[in-house]
Each structure stands twice: as structure tokens, then as C-alpha cells.
Structure 1
Amino acid sequence: MPQIHRAGVADIDPITLYRILWLRVSVFVVEQDAAYPEIDGRDIEPGAELMWIAEGPEVVATLRILRDADGMRIGRVATAAPARGRGYAGDLMRAAVARCAETAPGLPIALDAQMQLEDWYARFGFVRSGEPFEEDGIPHIPMRRS
């Protein structure tokens, strides 16, 4: 299993943080052709943590964990195109679910999944928790894990 790193933004080496944000913008803004504020201010909220996997100096997969008023939230799950199919996102999701359970035992974990990934997130115990919606022209579904 690859090494999973976890830290708050203030504790991440600037070059690594740059590579994490570069990956997120590359996937969510460029690849998915969705011009939106990817860097939305939530990464620096109290309790926010980024998780990532690197191959050498390159960040190849990442996600973030946030604290919401009613529980925890996982988001910004992204894998670099050349690293897809290696299970990195799954490794990160398992680690993130465990981290949420450790940080806020008994509280639910929420996420907003792109519709085509609903079954993938279900593998980690997430179930549909609301009506579908569009974000930046991409259909999403709210999901929750109790």
C-alpha cells in the first residue's frame, strides 16, 4: 500500500501544497471543464486536513476532510490521469473514513458525489441522502455515511 500523508494546510511543505492544488485544478477545472473557485477557502478552516499520495515528488492522488456543523465531510477526491486504476483513491477514501471516525466518533460523514461515482462511493458505506443537483454543469448526488 502506498504511503498516505495527512496534514493541515499550514503544516504542508509549500511545494507539496502547490502540487496538491495543481492536481485538484488539473482534474476539477481543466479536465472537467468547470470554471469555478476550486480554492474555496475551506482548506484553511479549523480542523481541515488534506490527505495525499505521492510518487517521488509528484502528488498523484488527494482528498480533503472538513468539519461541518453536523459531522464530517470528505471532498476534492482526485487522482492524476496517469495514476488512475491503481487503487489510490480507494486507499485514500478508506484512510479518510477512518480518520473521520477517529476525529469525530459517531458523527456522520457527508460528501457530494458526481453521479457516475455513486456506486464507487457506496463501496465505502455511503448512501444517497438527498436529491440530485448540478454543480458547474456536472450532475451530483449528496451522500452520507452514518
Structure 2
Amino acid sequence: MSAEPSYRWHRWHELSADTLYAFLKLRSDIFVVEQNCVFPEMDGIDPQCEHLTALDDRGQLMAYLRLVPPGVKRPHSESPAASGPAIGRVVVAMPARGTGLGRRIMLQALQHCAQRYPQQPVSLSGQQHLEAFYASLGFVTQCQAYLEDGIWHVDMVRAAG
């Protein structure tokens, strides 16, 4: 990946069929196929979310995440801090891994959260093996690891700021 990707936020009603297909395919390729995890990846929450895409200079989807608005989905731990927005379905395409794109798309999301939901904590349910990565972005673990769809997860919260 040579140049910085272009980032774009999408509301559900603004999604083109091509964009929707691209991020659902990437999520499925990683979360279902690569991680060998059979689970309901399309969970009915997407229409309520904002979706962040990162495209390379050829228009290929390199990373994606969704922003779940406050009150839509509570994490496993039911932490009181979970009343704010949540970041989920963070995924980086194989060719872009190891380039720092995961950190950059998370920073884009955190900046958006600060603007859209000022003074609200941001939560996520992350795969446990990524706990240190999320901690490096200011997230603090809220519970012991739990098994979700065959993969160990932890709930984490980042204070408003």
C-alpha cells in the first residue's frame, strides 16, 4: 500500500450496492472464513450504524469499521460506560496488514466519535489477542475474557475526551 487511503463515512441509506457488498464481503472473508468462525455476521444492527471505509488509490476496500450509536448494542459486561457509542467489526484486508492502517482507521473513528458524541465514552468488544492494540489507543479492559462465537473477547472502554 503506497499512499494513505481515502476514508469515508457512510450512513446506511447512503450506501451504494457496491460499497455494501465490498464491506460485507471483507467482513465475511475475515471473520467467517479466515477465522473459521460460523456466526451471524450480519446481525441486524448495520442499518442503525455509520460505516467507515478506507479505500486505496484504485478504489479497493482496505479497511472497515462500523460505529454503533449509543443505546443500540450493549457489550457483554454491561458496563455503565457502555451507554456511549461503540466501535465494531474492525477489519483490515490482508494486503494492508502490518502497515498501521488498523491504528489509522481507529483514530479516524475516535475523532468522529469525539465530534459526533462529545463527552461520551467509546466502547468496543475486541478479540482478546488485540487487547494491547486497543489499550494503546486508550481503551481500558472492563471484564475478564469471555468466549463469543468460539473466539475470546474482552469489553473495553475509552474515556470521553
Which category describes the TM-score, using the shorter chain as reference length? over 0.9
Q: Does 1:91 align with 2:104?
A: yes
Deviates more, 1:70-79 or 1:9-18: 9-18
Q: Which residue of structure 2 aligns with residue 33 of structure 1?
A: 36
Deviation of 1:51 (Å): 0.4
Deviation of 1:144 (Å): 0.3
Alignment RMSD = 1.0
Q: Which residue of structure 2 aligns with residue 143 of structure 1?
A: 156
Give 5+ residue unaligned stretches, structure 2.
72-82
Q: Which residue of structure 2 aligns with residue 101 of structure 1?
A: 114
Code of the aligned partner of 2:45:
R
Q: How many residues align?
A: 144
| Percent identity between the two aligned chains | 38
DSSP-derived class of the 1:68 partner: coil
Deviation of 1:36 (Å): 0.7
Give 5+ residue unaligned stretches, structure 1.
none
TM-score normalised to the size of structure 2? Answer: 0.86
Q: Which residue of structure 1 aligns with residue 79 of structure 2?
A: none
Deviation of 1:134 (Å): 0.6
**Residues of 2 paired with 1:3 and 1:124: CA distance?**
21
Deviation of 1:123 (Å): 1.3
**Residues of 1 paired with 2:21 and 2:101: CA distance?**
19
TM-score normalised to the size of structure 1? Answer: 0.94
More strand by share: 1
Q: Which residue of structure 1 aligns with residue 143 of structure 2?
A: 130
Deviation of 1:57 (Å): 3.1
Q: Which residue of structure 2 aligns with residue 82 of structure 1?
A: 95
Alignment of 1:14-29 (within 5 A): 14-29=17-32
Q: Which residue of structure 2 aligns with residue 116 of structure 1?
A: 129
